[in-house]
Structure formats: C-alpha cells, structure tokens
Amino acid sequence: PLADRNVIYNFHLYDPHTFTHQGATWGAEFWPYLKRVPYPSSPEAVAPLLSSVEHESAREALRAYGVERWNAERIERMIALAAEWARRRGVPLTCNEFGVYRTYAPTPARLRWIEDVRTSLERHRIGWAIWDYADSFGVAVKREGRATPDPQTVAALGLQAQK
C-alpha cells in the first residue's frame, strides 16, 4: 500500500454473481438465463430451478452456486479476509459498491443478501455504499417517474427513511 493517509482502499462486492446478477444482459453469457435464484444457496435450494434452466452454462453455474452454499457465514468469511488485509497494513478500507440486480431476484432473498453484506461490513467497521440509488440495483424504486425509497431495502440497509 501507499504510505499516504489520504489514500483509502476500496473494493466492490457482488459475489456470488450467479445470484447478484441473475437475469442481467451484460457480463457473463449465461446471466440472462438465470431467474428466481434463491439466497442462501444449497443444492436443495437450487434443485427445483435446474430443470427449467435451458442454457447449459447457466445450469452448471446454478448447480455450482448451490454446492458453494452461499450464506451469511460465507460472506462473513470473505469480508473478514478484506478486513484483515487492511488491519495488517494499517490502512482504511471501504466497500464502495455492493448490490443485487433486482429485476429477477426474489425480493426476500435480495433483502437478506443485502442485510448479510451490510451487517458483516459494519461488524468489521468497513464503510459501505450500495450500488445504486434509483436504478436496477437501487435503494429506491421509480413510480410514476419519481424515485421513492423502498422501505424494505432501506430496512435491510439498517437505515431510516425520511418522514
């Protein structure tokens, strides 16, 4: 790291992409074929979806995602590694982007992943910023051309909406 107190190190967190980018039309060629992917993951949780996924790479990614058993504990271990890296080097660390593409993600699963990431970051005293405010990963939803904070997402982030 640079020996400069004005430097803040950051990382983005979208793991596992099979969940966070399901249905996305950019990035991995199989993402558009993934929809309603659950979180947390297990072989049992993804089994009902496997037969409905026609794209072979998407099916294999979904199967692997189940075997990997993504959950709060796995996210915690991953964030702990980043926190330890910063601690050993005596540098500040932030997570400047995390989020879930909301279009096809089941709402309860999306909210749980967001809360799991946010609480782990806070436990390790890592500052955070969700991507984005009022688009497909956002805190707010657009209704009648107006962005309005989604109360469930606000709660998952441990925030309070203005009254």
pLDDT at residue 162 in the model = 74
Number of H helices, E strands in the chain: 6, 5
CB-based contacts of 59, cutoff 8 Å, min separation 6? 50, 53
Range 9-156 classified under CATH 3.40.50.620: no
Which residues of the chain have a pLDDT value below 50?
none
Q: How many CB atoms lie within 10 A of CB 27?
A: 12
pTM metric for this prediction: 0.95
* pLDDT at residue 93, rounded to an integer: 98
Domain ranges within the chain, ordered by starting residue: 9-156
What is the reported pLDDT for 19? 99
What pLDDT does 25 receive?
97
Give the three-state DSSP class for 127.
strand
